Structure 1
Amino acid sequence: MAPLTVTVTGSSSISRQAERGVLTVSAKSEGPEKELVSHEVTSASKELHRMFTELSPKTETGAATEDAPITVFSSTMLRTGFYDQPQPDKTRTRVHTATSSYSVIFRNLAKLGDVVGKLMTHPHVSIDRVEWKLTDATIKSLHSESRTLAMENAIEKAEDYARVVGRKVFAREINDSAHGNQVAMLQQQQQQQQQFQMARSAVHGSGVGPSHDGSVDMTPQDIRYTGSVTVKFESEPEM
């Protein structure tokens, strides 16, 4: 009897709570006076830089200390521009714009909530987004765990099929496709933005948003790590 061939795809899914919060925030202003707009953004950007610097103390090597709420942050240069705004009398008014952005990685996620709450009330600061991430060490560990679980799942499937026809199989070929492993958010960016909108509403008197101490609840999202592997199994030919 010819050997039995069984090809199956094993899969795995592992969830972990986010360990880092990446805050993207911008200093922005616009108005009829170019110098005033630039000054407002420059001033707000200096405030942000001072705040983030205080929250990211360094060791002698330049790395963040172990208890630093922020591990690293970066900023863009001041960008200016303008656009012409139509008026009811069909004329146009020149509006000048200025912006500068920061990307900040928080280790202390409670402190992230404090900072977001404070920045919500700043007239020239915009919370662009918060992204949840795992550390490199955790991702590396999940790579291995995900591959193991996917392979075990493939073996279980193959043995189920083979048992029905009274055969035993062994792995002959393993295909670890490039798209097999990925990190996927369990919640969508839209939900994050909704939280920011609710917090901004409190600034305008709706009563929803930052708590009494000025912080925003930034509960870390769960991150799902998925993996897959395609395995070809064969049985020994029966005599």
Structure 2
Amino acid sequence: MAPQLEIYVDGKGSSFRTAERGYVRLSISATSIDQAQAAHAAQSAIEKITTAIRALAIKTEDGRAHPDAAVTAFTVSPRSTESRFQRDKDNRQLPKQPKEHVVRASAEIIFRDMAKLAEVTHELATMPHVSVLGTEWRLTDATYAELEREARVKAIRNAVHKAQDYASVVGREVVAVEIKDQPSPSGHDMYHLQQALHQQTLQQTLAQQHGSGLSAAVVTEGLTLEPKTITTSAHVQAKFVSKEEDGDSEDGGRARKRR
């Protein structure tokens, strides 16, 4: 009887989808030595953003995002106020000068319509007291769960094919007896990092274009925010052993020859 064959292999698989949502983070900030003036400037910016976004975030009667809504979610944080000393060009405090008052808030927007995302992001980036902190591309929970499942299935199939390749060369058949899921870099998180760097470059470009006196139409036409591909990966380690009938059939063949 031939000794049992053991094969250990890694299996890897990945799946991808085009992003279905664009998540935009905003910062609203106004500074003045007059606290009321800072509060008014910040509130005015918040109201402009709210008016523009609510027109895109239409709801159904039960309060859910309408299937045709360009924006599926929108939130604005409460305002916060900070008082601080003014500073000179060397960053030294100026205690004799009137204090500055800083009023801040933040907002988050989730876009379904990517064309609207590009258009609105440009408008927000050029709005006084508003900064676009970053844009992330996302999938819906249902799609991402499906993507992960596809990647796992591909990883297991990859392991099976490897084991079968090795076994077939030596004339054996194998079955899986152990599968271990292994941590694997998703590509989703890596893309978020890449997108943050891309967004920083985008903001710098917008600032340069806006400062050069180009019209909004020219800047918008030159601005592309195409949804990116999101990839998820899976990695497994598997153990395969030869089927018992391999050895039995070999012994049986020898016995028949002896007869």
Query: 2:17 aligned with 1:16, yes or no?
Result: yes
Deviation at 1:96, TM superposition (A): 1.6
Counterpart for residue 110 of structure 1: 115
CA contact (8 A) 2:13 2:155 kept: yes
Following TM superposition, by how much is the alpha carbon of 1:233 offset from its aligned partner in structure 2, in angstroms? 0.7
8 A Cα contact 1:184 1:223, kept in partner: no
Structure number with the higher strand fraction is 1
- Flag structure 1 segments of 5+ consecutive residues without an equivalent: none
Cα RMSD after superposing both structures: 2.3
Match for residue 153 of structure 1? 158
1:190 matched residue in structure 2: 197
Between the aligned partners of 2:93 and 2:145, the Cα distance in structure 1 is 60
Give the Cα–Cα distance (whole angstroms) in 2 for the partners of residues 180 and 90 of structure 1: 49
Name the CA distance, whole Å, in 2 between partners of 1:16 and 1:90: 51
User: Which position in structure 1 is the counterpart of 2:211?
Assistant: 204
Same amino acid, percent of matched pairs: 33
Letter in 1 for 2:35: K
TM superposition shift of 1:163: 2.9
Matches within 5 A, 1:221-236: 221-236=228-243
| Letter matched to residue 205 of structure 1 | S
- How far did residue 203 of structure 1 move? 1.2
The reply on whether 1:130 has 2:131 as its aligned counterpart is: no
Q: CA-to-partner distance for each residue in 1:143-181, whole Å, 9 max, x for gaps?
A: 22111111111111112222333322111112234x347
- Pick closer, same or farther for the CA change 1:206–1:171 going to 2, 3 Å: farther
Q: Deviations over 1:87-132 (max 9, x none)?
A: 3797344222111111111000100111011112211111111000
Output the amino acid matched with 1:212: V
- Give the match for residue 171 of structure 1: 176
**Does the C-alpha gap of structure 1 residues 161 and 61 become closer, same or farther in structure 2, counting only changes over 3 Å?**
same
Query: What corresponds to 1:46 in structure 2?
Result: 47
Query: Cα distance 1:157–1:95, how it changes in 2: closer, same or farther (>3 A)?
Result: same
CA shift, 1:188, in A, is: 4.0
- Kept in 1, the 8 Å contact 2:209–2:219? The answer is no
Following TM superposition, by how much is the alpha carbon of 1:75 offset from its aligned partner in structure 2, in angstroms? 1.4
Following superposition, the deviation at residue 135 of structure 1 comes to 1.3
Instruction: Report which stretch shifted further, 140-149 or 88-97.
Output: 88-97
In the superposition, the TM-score normalised over structure 2's length comes to 0.83
Deviation at 1:210, TM superposition (A): 6.1
- Distance in 2 of aligned mates of 1:90 and 1:162: 75
**Distance between the aligned counterparts of 1:160 and 1:96, measured in 2?**
70
Conserved? CA contact 1:84–1:95, under 8 Å: yes
Greater helix fraction, Structure 1 or Structure 2? 2
What is the TM-score of this pair, normalised by structure 1?
Answer: 0.90
Structure number with larger C-alpha Rg: 2
Give yes or no for contact 2:24–2:109 (8 Å, CA) kept in 1.
yes
Q: For this pair of structures, how many residues does the alignment match? A: 237
Whole-angstrom CA distance in 2 between matches of 1:87 and 1:26: 25
